[in-house]
Chains A and B, each alone.
Chain A
Amino acid sequence: MVKSTIIARVADGLPLAASMDDEQAESELAGYKSQAKAIFKKLNAHSEAMCSIESGPYFLHYLVDQGVCYLCICERGFPRKLAFSYLDELSREFYMSYGGEVEKGSLRPYAFIKFDTFIQKTRRIYEDSRTQQNLSKLNEDLRDVTQIMTKNMEDLLWRGDSLDRMNTMSDSLRSESEKYRKDAWKLRVQGLVMKYGIQATIGLVFVVMLYLLFRVF
């Protein structure tokens, strides 16, 4: 079943509405809610419009429509088809009620919290995946959920980080290798000096003396 629902604006991740979760599970979900917030921060206009993200015992499904992201946290066993059908229903109703106001600049957080009533109502319809209505929804091929990407939370949250890390590592590797090359050259010169320095000096002195001798005499 759907555990929690959050609706946010894609442009800046501002939460617009959320379900009040009156279950004791709220504390369990806290971590996943902050993951959801992290997802909102990462979203932009070029992100996938629909995606399922696996995280621990839950699935986070989201749907982006008209600049608004609808995200729900579901149990693992909850059919994806139903979850997306639920989000779709929310998005249609939300767009109808508040579509025009979403892009306003001076919106306060949770400005459309009254949408919660509708969320609760819809959630109840989808509560049990085995009701006749929901079964028929499952059977109708409303949506080809197989094409929706499934990602892993770990990957999603850390992928950007690892690319960054790779970048900095290669950068540091390059600068360090340059430093090594310089050092190696210096070392080689030093070694030559140590090896042939005395002989060369003596030779040089000898040559100079010879030269002086020949000049004088």
Chain B
Amino acid sequence: MQDGAAVPAAASRRRLYPDQIASAYSSQRPPPPPQGPQNAPQGYPAAPHGGADAAAGQGGFFVPGAAQAPVPAPGVPGAVSPGGYGYPAAAAAAAAAAAAAQQPSIAPQPGYPAQQVDGLAQQMSQMGLGPGQHEFQNIALSGRPPVAALDEAPPAIRLPPGTACVPSPHVLCPANVKRCTLNAIPRTDKLLKKTKLPFGLLVTPLKSPEAGEAPVPVAPDIVRCRRCRTYINPFVQFVEGGRRWKCNLCNLHNDVPLSFDYDTLTQTQRNRWERPDLNCSVVEYAAPVEYMVRPPMPPVYVFVIDVSYAAVQIGAPGVVAQTILSALDRIPNADGRTKVAFVGVDSSLHFFQVRPGGAEPQQFVVSDLDDVFLPSPTDLLLNLHECREGIECLLARFESMFRTNHSVGNALCPAIKACQRMLGNLGGKIVVLQASLPTVGEGKVDPRPEGKDLGTPRESELLRPQNAWYKTLAADCSRAQIAFDTVFIGQQPMDVATVSCLARYTGGSVFHYPSFMAGRKPEVDRFSYEFARHIAADVGLEAVLRLRASKGLRMTAYYGNFFLRSLDLLALPSVTPNHGYAVDMEIEEALTAPVVYFQTALLHTTTQGERRIRVATLAVPTTENIHTVFHNADQIAIASLLSKKAVDRALVAKLEDAREALQHKTLEIIGAFKTECTQSSSGATTQLQLPRALQLLPQLTLACLKHTSLRAGNNTPVAARMAAINLVLTLPPEQGLQPYIVPRLYALHDLPPQAGHPDEQTGITVLPPRLGLSAEALAPHGVFLLHAGHDSFLWFGRGASPALCRALLNQPDVGAIPSGVITFPDLSGGADAPAEGFELNFRVTRILRRLNELCHGLWRPVTFVCKEDGEPVIRLMLAQRLVEDMDAAAPSYQQFLGQLRDKINRGSF
């Protein structure tokens, strides 16, 4: 639903008279308003431009205090000069009035007469938005899922006019920072229960600006509500002539600080309407001393590298050291304070000491693992800038140092204990690079054979940590601002489920490279790119995330990697730009306001050593109409929230339960829509119907069910499943749902002329049309690209023409193309124009680059070459990603729809 019908009740609560506002700026006296701002409904006081304008233009009409101030020449900034430095009250009022007068007038909007919900049609016709029936369109589910809708933007948030105090284009919170599953929120819990839709938020607290986007604006000083500590935001209302502001979350009136209108430092007027925190929904503040318990910490990285026999066999230590060496310049080090440390782990611990300025690293081997100690009190934690030479020397020699290491066993836990001691109260990030099972020391893990348990209910046991040591330690470390990243390399059993607890409770990330081998170049390239990118990322340190919501709403559960410190406070020792958090919301008491608000505040230290607060405010209208709720649902957000809930459930309950719950929820939603919003509310129906905004729900559910994280069957190794679960749990919907759960499929033999070339207006590479994720789309004469984020597939049909093979991969024909893993070659050598005869390769390279950009460069997928009659393993992997097709454990899309329809018709859900 894209029109005003979403918020009819809200729109009715108008008390702004555009004519009046406009005339306040011209020198003519406005005609008396039809009703004074005093008549504004209770709890919805006059906006500042309404109230203050009246005061400025009509002299004593609204607030006596403001009226006594000299009336400024309209539109002339700083017409009123404050009475010296003393800044008397009258001057303050004058300044407020002047500031109000400086505000750019709102473009006259179509009239918003006071009308009730009944006036819906009238309003719509007045707004010139047509009948609006298109928005209430129901889609009959049949045949193929409408894949084109996957790339559509979520339903627009329609706020009643005047909700924001400044008419700025930036007051709407971008969906990739924060989105709500319902863009029209039911007023009562009863209505919400009736729709069965999940109500929650998806937050990406430290979203980094994409290429071409402006950086987050920085506001000058922090203004917060006295009672609920909400930060001031574009949705507050100014009352009493602009001298107080009404908090939009708790309705308390707060004083507006003098600094809003007057700069005491330079002794000049300020225009409060230019403040970033009144113009933008996402702002940053530089935190003053009160927000710091200690000086901002430097970025600290401790690399705990597995150097046992298992790791040396696949060449992990060498590649890791080389990657770190090449990324040393990219590790954030703006202040020259960054510290790094390296610990090698086999059945004993290897520490490395470098004296500042010295070139010779010194190795200490500690083999007393019962009571682990640091071999030297200093110089284990190296200043990256001062010890650069020594660090480079150490990393260059790292591989040769351990090349002949035959020590079996891994003392990860004592190593972590030692690192914990090393970081002490400083905090930092411990990157665990693991290639074997931690078998030595206190928190050791026993190997768990998984072979015969896969696909049985006992598999769920394997997803649970073996002992509580890791969780307890992670909780301790979270308090000391220590975060963990766990990187699993190779195919040895590593008990990912147990060890990844370290990352789970400290806001860290989990990486998994099962097919890594130092000899496989594509795998090494991929690891190097992703790992280097990860350690070079601009992360937030020692962070806390707090969520606030309007009265009547309550957060009930959170999903993601964090440690929950109190009901609305997540402790994140480290937060990366590509970590999202999902929140379950609940309506505690009926909502009365036309709009509700959600505010998140992330207090963090940047890698530049600045303490900052990032505040994001989302405003969502409320409604009493069940149709409006359904037609304004955000299916991507809903599927993302449901998938996060499902994998979270898989970790605590059974996998089967998680799948059941997900399927049941979809069934409930479709059932609720059928009974509440369609004519065939009771009795059987031949075709299921869903609102346009939810038309993809069955497909998204099916994709979640078939994804590695939840897939049934016995061909998913536990390690891969755990890694997938962690990604689903932490990634924001822009990466996590698409392309990670729902891949993208393109036909390369049949590219439209524009595809693969930059768009003329935006300069962004145009993508070809998406195909349905079904083997039916794969024509035998064609070549197809399937992009799933962290891996991609090139599918060659049996009859693909030699010309196509030459233009794409410089191979004579299909038979000559090697099956298996490749890095997609750029035959133009990175040039800006295609090399002779390789135009297709050039275009596909660009398309791939654009697809990786869409994932914020998080992954560098290896490309699996899959031929129609090629290796069955790769064909199986590809088939698992074609989610519309039937496989051994899950139905096809049509069958799934049939099942849903039968269950709904039977009413047995």
Contact = CB atoms under 8 A, between A and B. Distances in A.
Interface of A: 14-15, 17-24, 26-27, 105-106, 108-110, 113-114, 116-117, 120-121, 124
Nearest to B291: A109
Nearest to A26: B425
A24 B295 contact: no
A20 B609 contact: no
B447 interface: no
A202 to B, nearest CB: 66
Contacts of B611: 108-110
Interface string B39-61: 00000000000000000000000
Contacts of B335: 113-114, 116-117
A22 B289 contact: no
Contacts of B381: 22
Given A22-B425, A22-B426, 8 more contacts: A18-B294, A22-B381, A108-B287, A110-B296, A113-B335, A114-B336, A117-B336, A121-B356
A67 to B, nearest CB: 17
A116 B337 contact: yes
A26 B337 contact: no
B384 to A, nearest CB: 11
B302 to A, nearest CB: 12
Contacts of A21: 425
Nearest to B386: A117
Contacts of B287: 108-109
Q: Indicate the member of A19, A113, A121 with the most B CB atoms within 10 Å.
A: A113
A24 B334 CA distance: 27
12 contacts: A17-B295, A24-B424, A24-B425, A110-B292, A110-B609, A113-B296, A113-B298, A114-B335, A114-B336, A116-B298, A117-B337, A120-B383
Contacts of B378: 124
B337 A113 contact: yes
A109 B385 contact: no
Contacts of B337: 20, 113-114, 116-117
B610 interface: yes
Interface of B: 265, 286-289, 292, 294-298, 334-337, 356, 378, 381, 383, 385-386, 423-426, 609-611
A134 B288 CA distance: 38
A57 B425 CA distance: 22
Given A108-B610, A109-B289, A114-B337, A20 B383 contact: no
Contacts of A15: 289, 295
A19 B336 CA distance: 14
Contacts of B295: 15, 17-20, 110, 113, 116
Nearest to A17: B295
B289 to A, nearest CB: 5
A18 B293 CA distance: 12
A2 to B, nearest CB: 14
B288 A109 contact: yes
Contact of B424 (A23, A108, A121): A23
B336 A22 contact: no
Given A15-B295, A20-B297, A20-B298, A113 B609 contact: yes
A91 to B, nearest CB: 18
A109 B612 CA distance: 11
A58 to B, nearest CB: 18
Contacts of A20: 294-295, 297-298, 337, 426
Given A20-B295, A22-B425, A113-B609, A108 B265 contact: no
A113 B607 CA distance: 12
A117 B383 CA distance: 8
A26 B424 contact: yes
Contacts of A114: 334-337, 609
A14 B292 CA distance: 12
Contacts of B356: 121
Q: Indicate the member of B265, B292, B294, B378 with the most A CB atoms within 10 Å.
A: B294
Nearest to B265: A105
A77 B820 CA distance: 70
A23 to B, nearest CB: 7
A20 B385 CA distance: 17
B425 A14 contact: no
Given A14-B289, A117-B337, A121-B356, A22 B610 contact: no
A106 B424 CA distance: 33
Q: Indicate the member of B287, B295, B297, B426 with the most A CB atoms within 10 Å.
A: B295
Contacts of B383: 117, 120
B385 A117 contact: yes
A179 B378 CA distance: 70
A124 B356 CA distance: 11
A16 to B, nearest CB: 10
A106 B288 contact: no
A44 to B, nearest CB: 18
Contacts of B297: 20
Contacts of B265: 105-106
A18 B297 CA distance: 10
A140 B425 CA distance: 37
A1 B885 CA distance: 71
Contacts of B336: 114, 117
Contacts of B292: 109-110
Nearest to A118: B336
A28 B334 CA distance: 31
A117 B385 CA distance: 10
Nearest to A127: B378
Nearest to A37: B289
B581 to A, nearest CB: 27
A19 B356 CA distance: 18
A113 B611 CA distance: 11
A216 to B, nearest CB: 72
Contacts of A23: 424-425
Nearest to B381: A22
Contacts of A117: 335-337, 383, 385-386
Q: 5 closest pairs, A vs B, by CB?
A: A114-B335, A18-B295, A26-B425, A22-B426, A109-B289
A27 B424 CA distance: 11
Contacts of A121: 356, 386
Contacts of B298: 20, 113, 116
Nearest to A18: B295
A17 B294 CA distance: 11
A22 B296 contact: no
A116 to B, nearest CB: 6
A22 B377 CA distance: 11
Contacts of A22: 381, 423-426
A14 to B, nearest CB: 7
Contacts of A124: 378
A198 to B, nearest CB: 62
B566 to A, nearest CB: 22
Contacts of B334: 114
Contacts of A108: 286-288, 610-611
B304 to A, nearest CB: 18
Nearest to A116: B337
B752 to A, nearest CB: 51
A21 B425 CA distance: 8
B297 to A, nearest CB: 7
A124 to B, nearest CB: 8
B422 to A, nearest CB: 8
A15 B295 CA distance: 9
A84 to B, nearest CB: 23
Nearest to A23: B424
A21 B385 CA distance: 19
A7 B521 CA distance: 51
Contacts of A26: 294, 424-425
A117 B296 CA distance: 13
